[in-house]
Structure 1
Amino acid sequence: MDMTARWAMPMLFAGQAQKEIFHNEALVRIDALLHGRVESADVATPPATPELGQCWIVAAGATGDWAGQTGSVACWTDGGWRFVPPRAGLSIDVADRGHALFHDGSLWRDALVQADGLYLEGEKVVGTRQAAISTPAGGAVIDAEARSTLAAILVALRTHGLIES
């Protein structure tokens, strides 16, 4: 076996010539993936003047040097473009989206937690914290059960941080 199973990093062998080349290639991949961040996941054409270390998730319809690399993480290095095919579980922050994408083994998907809330199956289920709601008081007719229920709902919302206390 000359590559690691998950990320295809080159392995070193006893007596191998030019080990530094293989070692450096592995470091480039680690640098791209460890706490990774890409500029965008919506670009199909390589940028004209990328900076060293910048990465992108190659969008569908890729052209130029990115042709045939759709879905891969493309990183600009001093040796040119390096492509890393994603594996299930890879999570990477996307600068122009403001949240991470994760790879499910087949597709890149939006992260469940984003700046504006929690999403399940692409639908926002919990949003940003809202202003405080005062506990019910007063009124001409007092319904103790309704007031108790409303108070319990407010306690739950405050406990979970969904509204301010």
Structure 2
Amino acid sequence: MPDTSPILNLPYILPAQAQKHVTHNESIQMLDRLVQLTVISRGISTPPASPATGDCYVVGTGASGDWAAQDGAITVWQGAAWVFTPAKAGWRAYALDEAASITFDGTDWGNSVILQNVTGIGINTTSNSTNPLAVAGDATLLSHDGAGHQLKINKASVPDTASLLFQDNWSGRAEMGLAGNDAFSIKVSADGASFDTALSFDPATATTKAKCLTSGKIAIDTDTVGLIDTPSAGGFVLITVVHASYPQTSHSGIFCYDTGGSLACDSIYTGASFSNLGTAVLTGTTGTVNSSSLAVKAGQLQIENRYSNTWTYSYTFLGGL
């Protein structure tokens, strides 16, 4: 029979042993320092100058003095000397100076709670494979750590989804984000099954589209024609030059258009420097110098700029969607 226990190396009382109390007390002392293990610190490498009996530490790296060559061991001041116990993989302790549980992995002492690559976390509820992070509560707070704060929702590729879904009794009613493409959109639903896009933003042009409304802008060089796709074959369009130094009324127009089977462009209002050229094919020099011209073609509006510098035109379509 061995002289010590296989796990904690507690000394056994041997047959016919004299002074059995010595062996018994040694085992009690070991149990006293290892059971419900609490240490003052795990980062100190130099023994404290005036320890109290029972003070317990995990010896830090590069230990010196009475702790030399005892890195990672558990040590207790027994009143006259330090007693050391080598830690085994899986042993746990509570570090008072950190208010944290620590675990020995066979080499080092680390934090017991490691939230890396866990399969799920449930806060006041239970997580599952679909929702690996699940939170139940009145509110969720995400705050800055010294400056700003970003909430990042990433998707793998264009056809995938990165969005926020708002539900009513677990049935979707509104969704915003990148749903199936890279255009940010807001969608709504009355039944949680069929969603309709209420508002979207083109990522390339920043064009805004809403139900029966599409807005955007286009820059057109001098003596050049710009083309704008119409959201439908017919509707109304409001166009104006975006320039702080020119009166908006002189460089604006409101038109009723048809870019479908029967091309047409009717003026509701045109400023003094804006001409409606109907169904003409604009070339860049078709209209009057120092003015803008509008004409229609299949599926598109043509805007011609005859100013001496590049103009930016804003446009808003009404109806037709």
Question: Please, what TM-score do these two structures have when normalized by structure 2?
Answer: 0.39
Are 1:142 and 2:184 an aligned pair?
Answer: no
Greater strand fraction, Structure 1 or Structure 2:
2
SS of structure 2 residue aligned to 1:119: coil
> Aligned partner of 1:103: which letter?
F
| 1:75 counterpart residue number | 76
Provide the aligned length of Structure 1 versus Structure 2. Answer: 140
The alpha-carbon distance between structure 1 residues 141 and 105, as it changes in their structure 2 partners (threshold 3 A), is closer
> Aligned partner of 2:116: which letter?
L
The answer on whether the counterparts of 2:43 and 2:60 sit within 8 Å (CA) in structure 1 is: yes
Q: How does 1:1-165 map to 2 (within 5 A)?
A: 1-112=2-113, 119-120=115-116, 132-133=138-139, 142-143=188-189, 144-145=192-193
Partners in 1 of 2:37 and 2:79 — Cα distance? 18
Q: What is the deviation of 1:141?
A: 6.4
Partners in 2 of 1:79 and 1:64 — Cα distance? 15
Deviations 1:69-128 (A, max 9, x none): 10000111134211010012211001111111111223222111xxxxx6236x9x8598
Q: What is the deviation of 1:10?
A: 1.1
> Aligned partner of 1:119: which letter?
L
The alpha-carbon distance between structure 1 residues 146 and 99, as it changes in their structure 2 partners (threshold 3 A), is farther
Root-mean-square deviation (Å):
3.0
Identity of aligned residues (%): 29
Partners in 2 of 1:146 and 1:103 — Cα distance? 54
Q: What is the deviation of 1:42?
A: 0.4
- For the pair shown, the structure with the greater C-alpha radius of gyration is 2
